[in-house]
Amino acid sequence: MLELYHAHISTCSQKARLCLAEKGLAWTSHPIEFATGDHLKPAYLALNPNGVVPTLVHDGRPVIDSSVICEYLEEIAPAEGTALMPRDAYGRAKVRAWLRYIEEVPTAAIRVPSFNGLFLKGWRQMSDTQRARYIEATPLRKGHYRRFGTDGFSKDQVDESTERLRQTVERIDGAITKGTEWLAGNSISLADLCVLPTIVRMSDIGLEDVWRDLPNMTDWYARIRARPSFEKAFYPGSHVSVDD
Ligand SMILES: N[C@@H](CCC(=O)N[C@@H](CS)C(=O)NCC(=O)O)C(=O)O
């Protein structure tokens, strides 16, 4: 029995949903609403003390952190659906290096334009007390929300984030060559699925120009969106728009 606590628009939740779809695994959905602070309530914190989504619960036991969840799904169901890790140790090392890079660079970078474009208005509408309570309650993101302030992230922070996102799409473009359709070789892997939500978010918030001149990256993005797992993970309500 697999249960996923997730938010529809959360890029980290989308990683887990993509893997579940590629593996063809059935799961029970527990949507978490950020607006009502579901992720910071005691019942959820008992599952995930970091107060972030997603959390997978497998036969009653929580598994946290999206990349860990993705590797876990592959390990419990290696023969089901798509194989998402290479068979050889060197191939798996390549995928894991991508996963660490994805966590350190694009996952952190995309928060800057996402928060400025999507959450600043709502954050400003909260009272000082409400904002202070939220910051006090979040186990991992106190510094992030303090830096966000009520002016949003600065131009310097946005520029740095764009530089890091550009590096990511350049690396994707460089990894895809003639005969190598996926990031870690000839088969799709966790590396492709785990970076995809950041790219979708870039597209949703109008940053497609960042990879406009990169043909391999553009082909990879079209190829991965054509897979049935895409619509399953990015169902209506999972995309965001800066005009929302
Ligand atoms: N390392 C964690 C990070 C998860 C994470 O940051 N989730 C975001 C949504 S994508 C979240 O829950 N944010 C809650 C908040 O900002 O308070 C993972 O990959 O699962």
Q: Check which CATH number belongs to the domain holding 60 and give it.
A: 3.40.30.10
Verify whether ligand 1 is closer than 6 Å to residue 22 (CB atom): no
Residues 61, 102 within the same domain: no
Kind of pairing between the strands at 2-6 and 28-31: parallel
Verify whether ligand 1 is closer than 6 Å to residue 65 (CB atom): yes
Count: domains in the chain: 2
Residues 177, 131 within the same domain: yes
The reported pLDDT for the residue numbered 244 is: 44
Higher pLDDT, 53 or 241: 53
- For the stretch 120-149, pLDDT in tens is 999 999 999 999 999 999 999 999 999 999
Residue 32 pLDDT more than 80?
yes
Pocket test for ligand 1, best of 52, 102, 195 (most atoms within 8 A of CB): 52
Looking up tokens 């309570």 gives: 133
Q: Is residue 240 part of a domain?
A: no
What average pLDDT does the chain have? Answer: 97
Q: Which residues pair with 31 in a beta bridge?
A: 6
The reported pLDDT for the residue numbered 95 is: 98
pLDDT band at 206 (very low <50, low <70, confident <90, very high): very high
Range of the domain at 42: 2-76
Residue 241 pLDDT more than 50?
yes
* Structure tokens given for 114: 């996402």
Taking alpha carbons only, the member of 165, 151, 158 closest to residue 203 is 165
Q: Of 50, 76, 102, which residue is a domain's last?
A: 76
Residues 47, 156 within the same domain: no
Instruction: Return contacts of 140-147, CB within 8 angstroms, 24+ apart.
Output: 140/50, 140/51, 140/52, 141/51, 141/52, 144/111
How many other β-carbons are positioned within 10 Å of the β-carbon of residue 151? 9
The reported pLDDT for the residue numbered 156 is: 97
The reported pLDDT for the residue numbered 193 is: 98
Residues 56, 166 within the same domain: no
* 122 C-alpha to ligand 1 centroid (Å): 18
Residues 105, 207 within the same domain: yes
Phi and psi at 238, nearest 5°, equal: -95, -15
Q: Is residue 238 part of a domain?
A: no
For 150, the 3-state DSSP assignment is coil
CATH number of the structural domain spanning residue 143: 1.20.1050.10
DSSP characters for 66-95?
A: HHHHHHHHHHH-TTSSS--S-SSHHHHHHH
Residue 243 pLDDT more than 80?
no
Verify whether ligand 1 is closer than 6 Å to residue 66 (CB atom): yes
Verify whether ligand 1 is closer than 6 Å to residue 138 (CB atom): yes
Which atom of ligand 1 sits closest to the CA of residue 52?
Answer: 12
Between CA 19 and CA 215 the distance in angstroms is 26
Residues 61, 119 within the same domain: no
Taking alpha carbons only, the member of 40, 58, 37 closest to residue 48 is 40
As a residue count, the chain comes to 244
Q: Is residue 242 part of a domain?
A: no
Residue 105 pLDDT more than 70?
yes
Residue 56 pLDDT more than 70?
yes
Residues 30, 115 within the same domain: no
Q: Of 76, 100, 117, which residue is a domain's last?
A: 76
Residues 112, 217 within the same domain: yes
Residue 224 pLDDT more than 80?
yes
Which atom of ligand 1 sits closest to the CA of residue 13?
Answer: 10
Kind of pairing between the strands at 61-64 and 55-58: antiparallel
